[in-house]
Amino acid sequence: MKSSGKSWRLLLTLETEAAPKLLVSPIFIFLVAVTVFPTIYAVITSLQYYFLSEPYNKHFSGLANYRFMLTDARFWGSLKTTLLFMAASICFEMIAGVILALLMSRKFFGSGLAKTLFLLPTITTPVVVGLIWVMMFDPQFGIINYLLDQLGFAPQAWLSGTHSAIWAVIGVDVWEWTPYVALVVLAGLQSLPDEPYEAATVDGATNLQKFWHLTLPLIKPYLVIAFVFRFMDLFRWFDTIYVMTKGGPGTATETLNMFGYLTGFNFMNVGYAASIGITMLFMITFVSKFVINLSRKG
């Protein structure tokens, strides 16, 4: 009995060899509950005929949802919109993020306050960001059209135009998340050694040559981190675009994530919506792994 009581005391005070496993077990159970189980359930659902309007007619349909996806013009249209959205946003954010990080790495009066204010878009709730920009893009009372009018340009229907809506939401994403890219790159810039730059200065290298041949290669891991995180986030971007356009006008801003939401909750085709989600998961995993492996080889 004494030995049993001592064992329980050691277990409760984490003084046993099993202490590391006991400390990790809560987060492991949490991850299984919120990631592994929902993913397995989504895979199973994607292999079923499952409409919310026909809950008692749910049955196994194999790869029928995936076969339909290959011939679904709306799926391919939403994929095209997603790729355009990601390509434009990442391109602008990476370029602007590097430029802003270089500016913020310099010492100047009020630099601390400037950095704090600059990060405000990133820490603002995406839904709030969407509501703010809806008001700013308002055709009659928005500040954007007011400034255009003051400059002599005609007002634009930003969020209701078939071609302008996608660029409006791209602009909002760039405004919101460029500071994040700049913050990651700034962390890389502040960790760079001084010796290579001193040697380059002695050799007569210009600032542009230093940036191209020293700074960019040295901050490459940070650029990869920023790229992968923004790629994953952009691929599943939903909240801001839902507040601003709900995928409209028509399907002009309907990304894959938005299409999956509409399929599941508007069209009530849960099985097909799950197959879209699983397809997105495979795309994100494949591209992220490919970029990381490519950066290691380089």
210: pLDDT confidence band, cut at 50, 70 and 90? confident
153: pLDDT confidence band, cut at 50, 70 and 90? confident
pLDDT for 271 = 95
1: pLDDT confidence band, cut at 50, 70 and 90? very low
pLDDT for 104 = 86
Residues 51-105 pLDDT 10s:
988 888 899 999 999 999 999 999 999 999 999 999 999 999 999 999 999 888 8
Residues 11-66 pLDDT 10s:
555 556 666 777 777 888 888 888 888 899 999 999 999 998 888 889 999 999 99
Distances (CA, A) of 232 to 105, 151, 156, 282, 295: 27, 38, 31, 11, 17
Q: Ranked by mean pLDDT, which of 138-142, 157-161, 280-284 comes out on top?
A: 280-284
- CA–CA separation, 136 vs 132, rounded Å? 6
pLDDT for 103 = 87
pLDDT for 181 = 94
222 vs 15: which has the higher pLDDT:
222
Residues 243-268 pLDDT 10s:
999 998 989 999 999 999 999 999 99
Full DSSP string of 110-132: THHHHHHHHTHHHHS-HHHHHHH
* pLDDT of residue 7 exceeding 50: yes
Distances (CA, A) of 285 to 111, 192, 227, 228, 242: 38, 30, 14, 10, 24
Where do the domains of the chain lie? 74-258
Q: Ranked by mean pLDDT, which of 33-42, 203-212, 271-280 comes out on top?
A: 271-280
What mean pLDDT is predicted for residues 278-285?
Answer: 92
The pTM assigned to this predicted structure is 0.86
Determine whether domain 74-258 maps to CATH 3.90.320.10: no
